[in-house]
Amino acid sequence: MSIQSHLLLSWSIVIATCLSGCGAAKPALVGASRDGHFVPTSQLIRPAGNTVEFAGRPVDIVAHPGGQFIYVKDHRGIVVLDREMKSVRQQLGFSGGGGSMHGLAINSDGTRLWATDAQSSMHEATIDAKGSVSWTRKISLPGPNGNGASHSTGIAISADEKTAYVCQSRNNTLAIVDLESGSRVSEIAVGIAPYDVIISDDGKRAYVSDWGGRHPEDGDLTANSSGTEVIVDERGVGASGCVSFVDLDDPRNGRQVALVDTGLHPAEMVLTGDESTLYVTCVNSDRVDIIDTATAT
């Protein structure tokens, strides 16, 4: 056999092997695998404990104060999980649209729940003794200049549970919502596309993660995103992230008092018990930023 014929035969075997392997491959499905779970983003995770599967795209989660029930927000509504039974107890969809990418809160005695949608509302639900939820009202959160969708996200409830602080992504504001009247009473300008909010124990300060970063200055490269000019790099990818410090001494006249640069796409945050340190997940930088709240650095 000539060298040329031998090479052709070798390549034929390689190609045939590849084709047979490709033909035998099965499509990857969402669900349990030998090593963990394939989630909708095609990432492989290894859960530390038990898992409960349901058809949905979970974006936020809170636990009932009693510990038995877990409430999950997904793209369609609320999923209630029974922690002891490790099963889905209830699924309750949003009326008139889907859920936004973040935003779920529960009150201290586990009788009320709030969730934001991808349009212009915050939904309020009651929770009965068996952990089941039912919608009671929908609070209007209009978009920029009172028009269109606000695509509201993160929610924080005041200590007296009379006020909700809601991130309004398209408005670039933190909304102050009177929970007794069910109305938005004011908006505080923050960075671009606010995502998550934490309120200090005394209610005098809010920390807001700004998914889209700071507002552009002269010389910044920008692109339009849902009506707002955002800072981007040469590829057109978002290039700024920050956390807003908001003074709430007078909530209806609150204002941003500091802005701390972070990694890209700052999302959920955790404040330490003594409120001295803020941990910020920066999802497009694959890191956690640590902020000193006393010095805003």
Percentage of the chain with pLDDT > 70? 85
Decide which of 238 and 31 is more confident: 238
Which pTM value belongs to this model?
0.87
Burial of 149 (0-12, 13-18, 19+ CB in 10 A): buried
Would you place residue 35 in the very low, low, confident or very high pLDDT band (cuts 50, 70, 90)?
A: low
pLDDT tens-digit map of 133-188? 999 999 999 999 999 999 999 999 999 999 999 999 999 999 999 999 999 999 99
Distance, CA of 100 to CA of 184 (rounded, Å)? 18
Would you place residue 36 in the very low, low, confident or very high pLDDT band (cuts 50, 70, 90)?
A: low
Given a cut of 50, is residue 11 above it in pLDDT? Answer: no
Number of alpha carbons in the 13 Å side-chain half-sphere of residue 97: 15
| Phi, psi dihedral angles at 53 (to 5 degrees) | -95, 140
Instruction: For residue 87, count other CB atoms closer than 10 A to its CB.
Output: 12
Output the pLDDT for position 73: 98
Distance, CA of 145 to CA of 266 (rounded, Å)? 25
How high is the mean pLDDT of the chain? 90
Output the pLDDT for position 104: 99
| Residues 80/71, Cβ–Cβ less than 8 Å | yes
Output the pLDDT for position 155: 99
Percentage of the chain with pLDDT > 90? 79
pLDDT tens-digit map of 55-85? 889 999 999 999 999 999 999 999 999 999 9
Question: What is the DSSP annotation of 120-155?
Answer: SEEEEEEE-TTS-EEEEEEEE---GGG-S---EEEE
- Residues sharing a CB contact under 8 Å with residue 256, sequence separation 6 or more, in sequence order: 188, 189, 190, 244, 245, 246, 247
Would you place residue 53 in the very low, low, confident or very high pLDDT band (cuts 50, 70, 90)?
A: confident
- Residues sharing a CB contact under 8 Å with residue 247, sequence separation 6 or more, in sequence order: 204, 205, 254, 255, 256, 257
Output the pLDDT for position 14: 39
Given a cut of 70, is residue 5 above it in pLDDT? Answer: no
Dihedral sign from CA coordinates of 151, 193, 143, 180: positive
User: CA nearest 281: which of 294, 290, 273?
Assistant: 290
User: CA nearest 153: which of 168, 138, 171?
Assistant: 168
User: CA nearest 244: which of 212, 220, 219, 283?
Assistant: 212
Would you place residue 20 in the very low, low, confident or very high pLDDT band (cuts 50, 70, 90)?
A: very low
Distance (Å) of CA 127 to CA 12, 38, 106, 107, 259: 65, 32, 10, 10, 37
